Amino acid sequence: MNRYITVGAISALLIVAICIAGCTSPSTSSSNQTTTANATSNATQKATSNATQNVTVNTTTAAPVSVQQGQKFTLQLQSNPSTGYQWKPSFDTSVASLKNQQYVADQPVTEGSGGKDVFTFQAVKVGSTTITFDHVSPSGTVTDRTVNKVTVTQAATPQVSFTVRLPTNPSTGYHWQPTYDTSTLNLKSDTFESSGSQIGGSGTEVMTFQVLKTGTATAAFDNLNPSSSSTEHISVSMTVG
């Protein structure tokens, strides 16, 4: 019989505890979650990091930008729409994606006063590229240019671990056998918790895994009888990205 685990369902037979640490957003440093699940659906926990790095440049200084894949970064250039001039960017769209462009006026606003053109990009893939901004006059003439070098590095793997708790009784000769890809998961511990002091009593097998890289990692568990035949199958998935 096959079973699949889903976050949010409740069962007294199977508990999946998912603990996340070090997977951060700009407002969160860590989070911890314990999930009770049954054995009839799929469990997928997502951990994301999408920090925004702000870099200010003008027509005389082009600051280099270094970000992780998936991160957003902002480039700001002095501008004055009342003159009819505008900044036009050009870049390798396979490395970076322009997410937003807006004008922010300097305060206080007066007639003919300027402000900043704000360009928000997202790093798409690992590599290096340049983002070139041409300052174009109303007649289409390029009067100034600034070039930003952008380096995109691989995003750090979040420190994510999850614990699978399975009911078992070693005295019967049955045991749970895990199967998983060692390039994506590391079995940190495998212990037995007795439900009482009685010899030969039942309890819980507790396996804790660490996720080694971003993406989806899956661990399968077969309840093997003394003859090594599988009598029960459970699959747990964890998505980090």
**Is 75:62 a contact under the CB 8 Å cutoff?**
no
Q: Name the residue among 9, 45, 152 with its Cα closest to residue 92.
A: 152
Considering the domain architecture, whether residues 125 and 195 belong to the same structural domain is answered as no
Whole-number Cα distances in Å, 17 to 7, 43, 96, 230: 10, 11, 37, 24
Given this model, what pLDDT does residue 110 score?
85
Those residues whose C-beta lies under 8 Å from the C-beta of residue 198, and which sit 6 or more positions away, are: none
Given this model, what pLDDT does residue 149 score?
92
Considering the domain architecture, whether residues 66 and 99 belong to the same structural domain is answered as yes
Considering the domain architecture, whether residues 16 and 89 belong to the same structural domain is answered as no
pTM, two decimal places: 0.48
Beta bridge partners of 235: 4, 220
Considering the domain architecture, whether residues 126 and 219 belong to the same structural domain is answered as no
Considering the domain architecture, whether residues 75 and 140 belong to the same structural domain is answered as yes
**Is 212:231 a contact under the CB 8 Å cutoff?**
no
Which of 99, 121, 153 marks a domain boundary? 153
**Is 79:103 a contact under the CB 8 Å cutoff?**
yes
Q: Per DSSP, which regions of 93-202 are E strands?
A: 96-105, 115-123, 127-136, 142-153, 160-168, 175-180, 185-194
% helix / strand / coil in the chain, to the nearest 5? 0, 60, 40
> Using CA atoms, how far apart are residues 197 and 191, in angstroms rounded to an integer?
16
Which of 120, 153, 186 marks a domain boundary? 153
Which of 134, 153, 172 marks a domain boundary? 153
Identify the domain containing residue 73 by its residue range: 52-153
Considering the domain architecture, whether residues 69 and 15 belong to the same structural domain is answered as no
Considering the domain architecture, whether residues 56 and 83 belong to the same structural domain is answered as yes
Considering the domain architecture, whether residues 162 and 92 belong to the same structural domain is answered as no
- SS3 of 172, please? helix
Considering the domain architecture, whether residues 166 and 147 belong to the same structural domain is answered as no
CATH of the domain at 174: 2.60.40.2020
Considering the domain architecture, whether residues 208 and 123 belong to the same structural domain is answered as no
> Using CA atoms, how far apart are residues 129 and 96, in angstroms rounded to an integer?
8
Considering the domain architecture, whether residues 73 and 143 belong to the same structural domain is answered as yes
Tell me the two tokens of residue 151: 């380096």
Radius of gyration, CA atoms only, the chain: 27
Considering the domain architecture, whether residues 167 and 231 belong to the same structural domain is answered as yes
Residue 39 burial (10 A CB sphere; 0-12, 13-18, 19+): buried
How many domains does the chain contain in total? 2
> Using CA atoms, how far apart are residues 134 and 137, in angstroms rounded to an integer?
10
Per-residue pLDDT of the chain (241 residues; tens, 9 = 90+): 444 333 322 232 333 444 333 333 222 222 223 222 222 222 333 333 333 444 444 434 567 888 888 888 889 999 999 999 999 999 999 999 999 999 999 998 888 888 999 999 999 999 999 999 999 999 999 999 999 999 999 876 667 888 999 999 999 999 999 999 999 899 999 999 998 878 888 999 999 998 888 788 899 999 999 999 999 999 988 887 6
Measured in whole angstroms, the distance separating CA 152 from the mean position of its chain's CA atoms is: 16
> Using CA atoms, how far apart are residues 89 and 114, in angstroms rounded to an integer?
19
DSSP string of 171-240, one letter each residue: GGT-EEEEEE-TTTEEEEEEEEEESSSSTT--EEEEEEEEE-SSEEEEEEEEEE-TTS-EEEEEEEEEEE
**Is 70:51 a contact under the CB 8 Å cutoff?**
no
Given this model, what pLDDT does residue 197 score?
78
